[in-house]
Amino acid sequence: MANKNHYEGIVTVQRHIIEQQKLHPEATGAFTGVLDGIVLATKIIESQVRRAGLVDIIGAVGEVNVQGEIVQKLDRFANQAIIRSLGYRTSVGIIASEEDNEPRIIHPRTADARYIVLFDPLDGSSNIDVNISVGTIFSVLRIKDPDWDKDPVKALLQKGIEQQAAGYVIYGSSTLLAYTTGHGVHTFTLDPDIGAYVLREENVRMPENGKTYSVNEAYSGTFADGYRRYLEWTKQEKYSLRYIGTLVADFHRTLLRGGVFLYPPTKKDPSGKLRMLYEASPMAFLAEQAGGMATDGKVRILEKQPTKLHDRTPLIVGGRDEVQRVMNFVRE
């Protein structure tokens, strides 16, 4: 049982979001409600992730999702938790999940429906069965097109720079939430005693350099020459390799410790594996807000125009100096 004084002056994520909203005088509170819905969903997901070894929820459902991957049971649970938690927020018009073929219109056109929420419900899902951290990623866009409900896909094909908010939760040794609304990156830890995300660090800064690289090096035989030369260089410079295979966890380490994460084009995935709207774009927003960089090797991720819902992109993200160095090799 935590001691009473422990909770004096506590800042929960809800309180923090309300404070942040004061930076936008025109805000109505609708946006706070959207983030609140996401926060609730992640608590529901976390409770199941923690029980994964106790109940019959790990393992595959026996279906293949839109990305051609085996659907894990927890993936499906997480997807439904987010859809339900956002379902009664009338300010959300469209939600789109990495797991689904099409976006869902959850409120037909009303004066209130102003936001689009995109999410990867359970990132790193192949790691579930082996007790390795998984996560949830989210991105919030504003509805701009007055006829949005006629063509919801068109409404959400926006550049990353248009994001109103982005964040992730890691279900790791503790449960941690990181978010940005364009005013820095802030992290919170879920306190299991009170069921609230409690402020851990405000305005997290990504170190500009750090001698760690993170990549699935087993695929390097099919990387372009520039990437291969960079990987040779890391050996000469005595870098360390860290690769978890859960983007959220690899990104979070890079955010705190510095270094670079890369998922280049491969023979199997010529455009890279990671999804533009559900993974690369929110991570790029967070990275830049923490002083880091994110590129596809040529173009800043936040300036790329997505052309379809499940677009993929190569991703190089991390501290400024490290990303710049990879780009120098790749451009040569």
125 binds ligand AHM (CB under 6 A): yes
Q: Select from 51-59, 122-130, 162-170, 281-289 the region that touches Mg ion (CB under 5 A).
A: 122-130
Q: Select from 53-61, 76-84, 123-131, 302-310 the region that touches ligand AHM (CB under 6 A).
A: 123-131
Q: Select from 39-47, 120-128, 145-153, 233-241 the region that touches Mg ion (CB under 5 A).
A: 120-128
The CA distance from 231 to 101, in Å, is 36
| Local structure of 152: helix, strand or coil | helix
Q: How far is the CB of 109 from ligand AHM (least distance, A)?
A: 31
Which of 245, 256, 310, 324: binder of ligand AHM (CB under 6 A)?
Answer: 245
Which of 123, 296, 311, 322: binder of Mg ion (CB under 5 A)?
Answer: 123
DSSP string, 238-281: TPEE---S-HHHHHHHHHHH--EEEE---SS-TT-SSBIIIIIH
The distance from CA 221 to its chain's CA centroid, rounded to whole angstroms, is 28
Q: Select from 172-180, 203-211, 244-252, 289-297 the region that touches ligand AHM (CB under 6 A).
A: 244-252
Task: Give me the helices (H) in the chain, please.
Answer: 13-21, 30-50, 73-87, 152-156, 225-236, 247-257, 281-289, 320-331
311 binds ligand AHM (CB under 6 A): no
Q: Which does 172 bind (CB under 5 to 8 A by kind): ligand AHM, Mg ion, none?
A: none
The residues, ordered by sequence, that sit 6+ positions from 251 with a Cβ below 8 Å of its Cβ are: 168, 261, 283, 286, 287, 317
Which of 35, 76, 95, 123: binder of ligand AHM (CB under 6 A)?
Answer: 123
273 binds ligand AHM (CB under 6 A): yes
Q: Which does 216 bind (CB under 5 to 8 A by kind): Mg ion, ligand AHM, none?
A: ligand AHM
The CA distance from 332 to 328, in Å, is 6
Q: Write down the residue that tokens 């999702």 correspond to.
A: 65
The count of residues interacting with ligand AHM (CB under 6 A) is 11
Nearer to ligand AHM, 33 or 318 (CB): 318
Beta strand pairing call for 260-263 and 165-171: unpaired
Q: Select from 27-35, 158-166, 233-241, 245-253 the region that touches ligand AHM (CB under 6 A).
A: 245-253
* 297, HSE (Cβ side, Cα atoms, 13 Å): 19
The residues, ordered by sequence, that sit 6+ positions from 124 with a Cβ below 8 Å of its Cβ are: 132, 133, 134, 135, 244, 245, 246, 247, 248, 249
Q: How far is the CB of 317 from ligand AHM (least distance, A)?
A: 11
234 binds ligand AHM (CB under 6 A): no
The CA distance from 209 to 200, in Å, is 23
Q: How far is the CB of 219 from ligand AHM (least distance, A)?
A: 7
Summarize as ranges the residues that interact with ligand AHM (CB under 6 A).
Answer: 69, 120, 123-125, 216, 245-247, 250, 273
